[in-house]
Amino acid sequence: MRKQTWQNRQMADEEVLEVIRRAARDRIHGATEIEEGLIKALLTLRASWTATQLSVGARLLAGGQPTMAPLARLAQSLGTSDLDDLQSLLETRLSALRDAPEILVANALPWIERAVRVVSISRSSAVAAAVEAAWSNGWNGTAVVLDGSSAGRGMDQTERLKRHGQAVSHPDASAPRWLDLPDTMVAVGADAVAPSRFVNCIGTLMLLELAAARNVPAIVIADGGKDVSDEILDRIIETMPLHHDNSGREWSLFEVVPMGLVTARISD
């Protein structure tokens, strides 16, 4: 009987750690989608939580998603919170995540609806939601999605958007062509936002510098869960993952962008 109880405990621990591992390894979804999915899974497994197991999970999550501010914050909570306090914190955050997209979209719509086309880069669930809502409102514009490097998943974003309206995928080098057209705007997402800087996929800095040189309006769409202090952003920068190719070259998949390059920050 004692052996069976121990085995059940081991299985419960592994189930909790597995949902955290999946979130830590996710390279397809954005921070908001990963965070919401992980919180839902953890709350479903509430009866199986232990402080030791969650501490291990915190290290897995922090190591696997070092650039995504909401997941870094969640990892810290997993490793330090009382279990009942953690449950309350997760329930509150889940409620906020459910409300955030609607508020973000409402705040972004006036910017998008004034333009004929929106140029974005890589994958951003916040940008996608705003553009899709604009189409639902009768906007007849085009979404142009730049790749954001081979790991940026710009083509994935385009395929999602094509189900709702006119969307095209292009390499980053085509940005000047689109920005030179009239009635164009830029919309990007962010993984972490500090008072004067934010982190997003590589290529974002170039896109926003080109837009600023042409006086093209640009917005960054990111909910308040992405906000961090300058100190925390510095730590995120130190741990940004590198891409390695077969020739031995390496470069970061993310970069730091001055907030001064955007016309407005859209939040909830």
pLDDT digit string, tens, across residues 35-90:
999 999 999 999 999 999 999 999 999 888 888 888 988 998 998 889 999 999 99
One-letter amino acid at 184 equals T
Distance CA 157, CA 152 (A): 9
Range list for CATH 1.20.120.420 in the chain? 2-99
Domain with CATH 3.40.50.10470 in the chain: 100-266
Integer Cα distance of 28 and 30 in angstroms: 7
CATH class of 2-99: mainly alpha
Distance (Å) of CA 62 to CA 23, 34, 78: 10, 13, 10
CA dist 188 and 146 (Å) reads 11
177-195 residue pLDDT tens: 999 999 999 999 999 999 9
pLDDT in tens, 198-251: 999 889 999 999 999 999 999 999 988 899 999 989 988 887 766 666 776 766
- Architecture of the domain delimited by 100-266: 3-Layer(aba) Sandwich (3.40)
In this prediction the pTM is: 0.82
